Copies of this chain bind each other. A is one copy, B any other.
Amino acid sequence: MTTKKFTGVIPPVVVPLTQGRELDVPSFERNVNRMIEAGVDGLFILGSSSEVVFSTDQRRSDIIQNLVRIVDGRVPVLAGIIDTETERMIEHGKRAEQMGVDALVATCPFYALQGIDEIEWSFRCLHDALNLPIFAYDIPVCVHNKLDTDMLVRLGKDGVLAGVKDSSGDDISFRYLVMGNEDAGHPMSILTGHEVVVDGAYLSGADGSVPGLANVEPYGYVRQWKAAQEGDWETVKKEQDRLARIMRITAVTKGVQGFGAGVGAFKTALQLMGVFETNQMPRPVHSLKGENVEAIKRVLEENGLL
């Protein structure tokens, strides 16, 4: 039941900063409204793309509160409660619940090494301590643990998890997750986080996507989801090819990597398109400059976004 609510295109919201690294509220409003008006089905705040791990607790609260105010119930809001371990995640979860979001998103514990028993127990602790639906966030590139497919399905069956946001880069386990969820009566909403292979994920039965690139180009992802609903796979693939070309903004830069290359490119594109005032990044990440900005500009121009 809860899962019906969390399907379709649910972009992770990129957070604009002023030059002085304060939250840039007007730019934030423009970005959020633009995505909602384009027809997205939900928004995910305080995930990796929202620079959650760079944000102090105060900043996290500011971001959620502003988002809830801007969204004003137009689409459901999922909020990340990402932190190193269980008790800290519960604290974030309780704060987020008081601010009026619709679901919570948690990774497995990280920094200290954990086995599968501890990971499963961690999700069960979150469920016991919190009231909102919980999504598991599978992102081994950040937490250095791949969530086990059978464990996820078990947690879905037991009502602990309402869904999974899969950024694992493992399309094989993704398919088994979708199949396992189906066999279990579809208790969870399975969302892919990989912008350039959403077509394959939809074909395999995914319930939606969480594409960071939808901050830059929400329209294509919305059209793609509609086409998938109608079984029009040629359109799904055609939209995907175009979006994959736009995603090259994260690959044409030089001398940057990881978060700085990915979210840095999104912020730079949004600045070039007039949505953001700056492409400022949180410390210790440098914002993109000079030739890197030019390279991104060229990709946007080639794809008709400028």
Contact = CB atoms under 8 A, between A and B. Distances in A.
A142 B53 CA distance: 16
Q: Select the residue from A111, A143, A201 with max chain B CB neighbours within 10 A.
A: A111
Contact of A144 (B144, B171, B256): B144
A121 B53 CA distance: 17
**Could you say how many copies of this chain the assembly holds?**
4
Interface in A30-77: 48, 51, 53-57, 59
A23 interface: no
B54 A84 contact: yes
Interface of A is mostly: helix
Nearest to A142: B111
7 interchain residue pairs of minimum CB distance: A200-B200, A113-B258, A53-B84, A233-B233, A122-B284, A121-B284, A112-B259
19 contacts: A53-B88, A53-B111, A54-B84, A54-B85, A54-B112, A83-B84, A85-B284, A86-B284, A87-B283, A115-B256, A115-B260, A121-B284, A144-B144, A169-B171, A171-B171, A176-B196, A200-B204, A203-B237, A204-B237
Interface of A: 48, 51, 53-57, 59, 82-88, 91, 109-115, 117-119, 121-122, 125, 141-144, 169-172, 175-176, 179, 194, 196-197, 199-201, 203-205, 231, 233-234, 236-237, 240-241, 244-245, 256-260, 282-286
